[in-house]
A = this chain, B = another copy of it.
Amino acid sequence: MSNFSIYDVSQKSGVSTATVSRVLNNSPRVSQKTREKVLQVMREMDYVPNAYAQGLIKNKTKTIGILYPDVANTYVTRTVFFVEKILKANHYFSLLSCTGYSFEEKKLRLKMMLGQKVDGVVLLSSSYTEADSEHNRYIVECAKKIPVICVNGHVEGPNIYNILCDDLDATYRAAKGLIRSQERGRIIYLYSRDTYSNKLKIQGFLKAMLENNIPVWADSIQMCGGDVEGALDRMFQDPNAKPIGAIMASGDTIAMKALKYMEKRKISVPEQVQIIGYNNVEWGQYTTPTLTSVDAQIEQISSTAVKTLLDVLNGREASQLTMYPGSIIKRESTRESFNVEEPNVI
């Protein structure tokens, strides 16, 4: 029932706890004979060292905290798993914490991670990047103690490392492609919530519109939360509205809901309305028509995030900002004539 300690092992193998510890830590200062004897005893007792005692003295726990806002967001959840997988491959544990979107809760959870003595922390999602940089101070404070990795967010400060997808440029290029491929009809941008990342996407959208002298109306850019039907109803049912030729979405779920909406209203995609999603989730391949989407390079970003973290933890140099271009995956919800430029490398 009860677990064995290093003391039990030392007793049974007739050496001191110091020697057992040396064996445990692969110290060269142990004779081959002693080492084998101790290892044998450990195996017999099925001894497992207490990570809490080790963490207490070493002040390193081989554990990384992962904060994420939401279980419903596929982009976030996929990233969590990639990060955990790569961390594990590097012999780190992952301590999870779902924080929600409330500022106070995010702050509290980060503080609790500090109590858990994690060696570093990963903030997954742009929702940890507040508009008012004063509100990011709790992150800057945290970074004084342990390295902070922002995935798809951007917080400036020492010991903070940002890895993100160039959402602005990807959205810009997608919007530009849409403009070139269609003669008429408005282009609508639908997004879920006000996050740092969505703000960038909207900027990219606007940039493409303005550069091409396309007028943008108040309802051209709409926050819809989960209610995509409602937002589309308002636009498609309005008899005075200019006809709509394309819909861009900040996420694939919104785009898929739009696809279903068109199917129900017998509006053909992509002939009458083109649709583009974001994140390139697997299920975009199974809709009818299949969904054109922006691949935000989750795997690439996750692995760079972990690599950066390990570099920092091991005292190596690391870049404080790494940006990947998004890749636009062309499928059936856009026309043949829809094409995009190469990314603007920064």
Interface residues of A (CB under 8 A from B): 1, 3, 46, 48-53, 55-56, 61, 63, 71, 77-78, 81-82, 84-85, 88, 93-98, 111-112, 114-117, 141, 144-145, 253, 256-257, 259-260, 263, 281-283, 285-288
Contact = CB atoms under 8 A, between A and B. Distances in A.
28 contacts: A1-B144, A48-B111, A48-B115, A50-B56, A51-B115, A52-B52, A52-B55, A52-B61, A63-B95, A71-B78, A81-B98, A84-B96, A84-B98, A85-B98, A88-B97, A88-B98, A93-B116, A94-B96, A94-B97, A95-B96, A96-B96, A256-B283, A257-B286, A259-B286, A281-B283, A286-B287, A287-B287, A288-B288
A191 to B, nearest CB: 18
A49 B115 contact: yes
A88 B99 CA distance: 9
Contacts of A253: 282
A252 B144 CA distance: 46
Contacts of A257: 286
Contacts of A288: 263, 287-288
Nearest to A1: B144
A286 B285 contact: no
A289 to B, nearest CB: 9
Contacts of A3: 114, 145
Contacts of A48: 111-112, 114-115
